Amino acid sequence: MEAVNLQSPTPVSAIDADSVFAPAPSQPRRMYYGDAIRIFGTIAVVVGHVAELRLFSTEVLDRNWWICNLWDSLTRWAVPVYIMLSGALLLDPARAEPSHHFYRKRLLRIGVPLVFWTAFFMWFDVKYTGWRPSWKAAWLNLALGKPYIHLHFIFRIAGLYLFTPMLRVWLRHTHRKMQCWTVGMALVLSAGDSLMNSITDNEPSVFARFVPFVGYYLLGYLLRDTVLTARGLRRAWAGFVASYLVLLLGTGWTVHLFHTPKTFLKGPPSLEMLQFDFLSPVRILMAMCAWLLFVTIFNRPWPQSELARRRVGWWAGTTLGIYLIHPMFREILYTRRIWIPGVYDHWISYYFGPEWPNIWLGIPLMATLVYGLSLAVIAVVMRIPYVRRIAG
């Protein structure tokens, strides 16, 4: 089976033999799967970040660690798919706007949140949690483009936005075959870089942190209209489940091989968490499968009711703000330094018995609480003139 080239009437081989490419639109249009990706992706990020507070500890490979690994591994598609969604929306050559118009809109969208939340979480890290021992350590993290656990995303997006007008021109004047080869090579090189960074314990600076994600960004555009047949959908599900199992079990294996006992488990880039890196081969596969599932399942208007669609659209519009603020509530609920002075670094469930008396329920319940508080605050912030700009 062949797919129709979005730029040319000449058929070319499909990336997935069971995919059907919809005709390219003559002008930008609404992609219904975008709302689903924003909503479910943000929920996945919150769940993963809640699980990480037990995952990255001195106690590894015990029962609770494996349960956290089960939850966290399941969410690892979210950030790459966010990047792909940005590419699908913004790289459309039909968006023939002057570069300065594009930069002005993007600056208004992410400039204020980037500055505000960077400053806030640097202060929060040093003065509230104390997880950074000094301002020097906080500034070093900023130089690496990750002033807090989640803010790497907005720095990466800013770098990708910078090159978007040029990438649009390239997409407009190249054939799909060249585009597919380029994306493939970019992802292979980034996967190789991920492996070498894990071996050498190396990270890019704030100026280059976005570069390895160019492959994801372009891939989102190439696969933005790829609707799978029933057989292709089954294969995508199989690929997602297989990548999840490799991520889950492979991480346990590398932690067993490389972790030093009685030390905190180190996050990527590290040999212990080799598979968890954003551009490890298994996460690239997981992201591609998750993307194809979203595009296929949510390729039509949903929900059926127009009123319900407006509510879902509003909910999707809160997700960047939720993403930006949620670690504050996670840390407040975890450390409880505000209302229980001197008692730190355990979830509140610690006082109901042994730590995480039911960790299977503890993670989704705490994630629901963190998400709900974040949504409530962002809903209020978005109604306040000028202040709402910090929600993105």
Q: For 40-53, write each residue's pLDDT tens digit.
A: 999 999 999 999 98
pLDDT at residue 355 above 80? Answer: no
The Cβ of residue 95 has, within 10 Å, a number of other Cβ atoms equal to: 15
Let me know: does 58 contact 325? Beta carbons within 8 Å: no
Instruction: Give the integer Cα–Cα distance in Å for 78 and 365.
Output: 20
pTM: 0.89
∠ CA 53-138-65 to the nearest 5 degrees? Answer: 15
Q: For 189-229, write each residue's pLDDT tens digit.
A: 999 999 999 999 899 999 999 999 999 999 999 999 999 99
pLDDT at residue 333 above 70? Answer: yes
Query: Given this model, what pLDDT does residue 360 score?
Result: 79
For the CA atoms of 97, 99, 101, 106, the dihedral, rounded to the nearest 10 degrees, stands at 110
Cis geometry, peptide bond prior to residue 80 (ω within 30 degrees of 0): no
pLDDT at residue 28 above 70? Answer: no
End-to-end alpha carbon distance in the chain: 42
Cis geometry, peptide bond prior to residue 268 (ω within 30 degrees of 0): no
Q: For 249-290, write each residue's pLDDT tens digit.
A: 999 999 999 999 989 999 999 999 999 999 999 999 999 999
Query: Given this model, what pLDDT does residue 97 score?
Result: 82
Give the 3-state secondary structure of residue 379: helix
